[in-house]
Amino acid sequence: MSLNRRSFLVSGASALALLGVAAAWPVRALAKLVRPEAAFTATNVNDAIAGIGGAAETSAEIVFQTPEIAENGAVVPVSVTSNLPGTDQISILVEANPNPLVAVFSIPEGTLPTVQTRVKVAQTCNLTAVVRANGKNYSVSRETKVTLGGCGG
């Protein structure tokens, strides 16, 4: 009898767990970022920016940290922090790369609008951060000098 009760409880608990997973799915699907394929395959900065929402206004509210001189273009640390309210997307572009768009980050509510990563930079050029806040794009650019390119062997 007690065994029956236990197995009943266990099956009930696993059914509940399954329900929980099922309920979480649609939310996740909605929040999913759609890959801007055209922007990733674009070969110049303007096309790439057009692919992620178009013309961007320069803003001093974006803190974009890049090294002035990168000894190794294959590993260039970059950090983007947006002080614009309503920031929900941060993108990083490297002008001289064969495909300038490097990364697009989607920032949901509750996540701080700051990301840090490392990128490849082919040669000395401008790096641009594009931030989408309240449906509008803002950008800031900084030049990084590369002494050793990121496309070598």
98 makes contact with another protein (CB under 8 A): yes
Cα 84 from Cα 129, distance rounded (Å): 13
Residue in 40, 124, 145, 149 binding another protein, rule: CB under 8 A: 40
Taking CB under 8 A as the criterion, which residues in 68-87 touch another protein?
Answer: 74-77, 79
Choose which of 56, 130, 146, 150 interacts with another protein (CB under 8 A).
150
Residue 5, number of CB atoms within 10 A of its CB:
9
Choices 10-18, 59-67, 112-120, 132-140; region in contact with another protein by CB under 8 A: 112-120
Q: Select 7 or 147, whichever has its Cβ closest to another protein.
A: 147
The residues, any chain, with a CB within 8 Å of residue 123's CB and separated by 6 or more, are 73, 96, 146, 149
Q: Tell me how far, at minimum, the Cβ of 146 lies from another protein, in Å.
A: 13
Distance separating alpha carbons of residues 112 and 83, to the nearest angstrom: 10
Distance CA 38, CA 89 (A): 17
Closer CB to another protein, residue 9 or residue 75?
75
Q: Segment near another protein (CB under 8 A), from 1-9, 102-110, 129-137, 140-148?
A: 102-110
At residue 46, the 3 state secondary structure works out as helix
C-beta separation of 90 from 102 below 8 A: no
Q: Is 45 in the site for another protein (CB under 8 A)?
A: no
Give CA 60 to chain center in angstroms: 20
Type of residue at 109: E
Contact residues for another protein (CB under 8 A)? 20, 24, 28, 31-33, 35-36, 40, 74-77, 79, 94, 97-99, 101-108, 110-112, 114-121, 150-153
